[in-house]
A and B are shown apart, each in its own frame.
Chain A
Amino acid sequence: MSFINTKTKEVQVKVVFVGPGRGGKTTNLEYIFSRIRHRIQSDMVSIKTQGDRTLFFDFLPFELGAIKGYQVKTQLYTVPGQVKYNATRKLVLKGVDGIVFVADSAVDRRENNIRSFENLRENLGFYDIDLTTIPLVFQYNKRDLATQGIPILDVNTLESDLNAQLKAPSFTASALTGDNVIPTVKKAIAITMVATRDKLL
């Protein structure tokens, strides 16, 4: 639910990182926070279980700079990935403007990626949001696993599992090392801003 404040010349947009549990969504936000913490006033907010899994959401607000005289305030959220937390996952998606789907590249996580993506489709449907129209970027995370000898899915397989019809922008990445994390979020914000501008201005 993007909001344009014509008095303060401010645009607020909500971008949500979704994907299977333990796929690296929170690690993405932690890396982004580590890169921008010197220039933002807010802390990253995390609501976690005792076992350090995301229970409700992580939240990171930051200012992107100005576009056409409007200051862009981006609110980054993650959702809990575990199947059992669907009620809270659905709540965080309320008012979403853009999505980053963080897929796990490990071979044994393939089914989890597909199930999580189907769950996203269902949850967006609850808010009458169509996956084919909402700004969406795929991130194929944990590419660094290959260096540890852990088998990973090739990009063609991930694309065909998740992105065959949508043809959304996609990035291979390693949230742990920060590789391609910033380009992923930049792309997500850029296409979200284009959609917001088309809708509102």
Chain B
Amino acid sequence: MSYILDQEQLDGLEEALTTDLMTLGIQSVILIDMAGNVIVNLDNGKVSHDVYSLAALAAGNFGAVNAMASIIGEEEFSLLFHKGKSENINFTKILDDFLLVSIFGNDVSLGYLRLKIDDVIKKIKVLIDPKRLK
């Protein structure tokens, strides 16, 4: 699959991610595809991650976890979370080909973040509906 996102779609994605997730005080959020391409990258201005390497590893990691799911008879693990000492990372699959990566500190409630991620995913699905992709 190859695809183009236009200005309106990308503006909509940035707005939704900013309004629903960045305002919670999370460190950064990256929307990627399963090939490891970076679609939207937002941060709080205090970090400078190697986003492209992070995206490649996140896509690979998610792919590996799904392959494990299939071995044990699960269709997929649609949600993946890694806890660190001060920073945590949450992965959520969107449709078949996209992944939302949220990086956040211990001051953000994981439960609340997941609720907000559910909200933003509904908006993202409309914006990157496969019927709208070229």
Contact = CB atoms under 8 A, between A and B. Distances in A.
Contact of B64 (A77, A91, A196, A200): A91
A42 B134 contact: no
Interface in A53-100: 56-57, 59, 61, 73, 75, 77, 87-88, 91-92, 94-97
Interface in A1-26: 1-8, 12, 14
B50 A92 contact: no
Per DSSP, chain B at the interface is mixed
A61 B34 contact: no
A14 B6 contact: no
B2 interface: yes
Interface residues of B, number: 28
Contacts of B4: 3-4, 6, 200
Contacts of B7: 6-7
A200 B134 CA distance: 8
Given A95-B35, A95-B36, A200-B2, A61 B53 contact: yes
Given A3-B39, A73-B52, A75-B52, A95 B5 contact: no
A41 interface: yes
Contact of A45 (B2, B3, B5, B53): B53
Contacts of A2: 2-3, 37
Interface stretch (B19-27, B55-63, B107-115): B55-63
B37 A56 contact: no
A111 interface: no
Interface of A: 1-8, 12, 14, 41-43, 45, 47, 56-57, 59, 61, 73, 75, 77, 87-88, 91-92, 94-97, 196, 199-200
Interface of B: 1-7, 10-11, 33-39, 50, 52-53, 56-57, 59-60, 63-64, 67, 97, 134
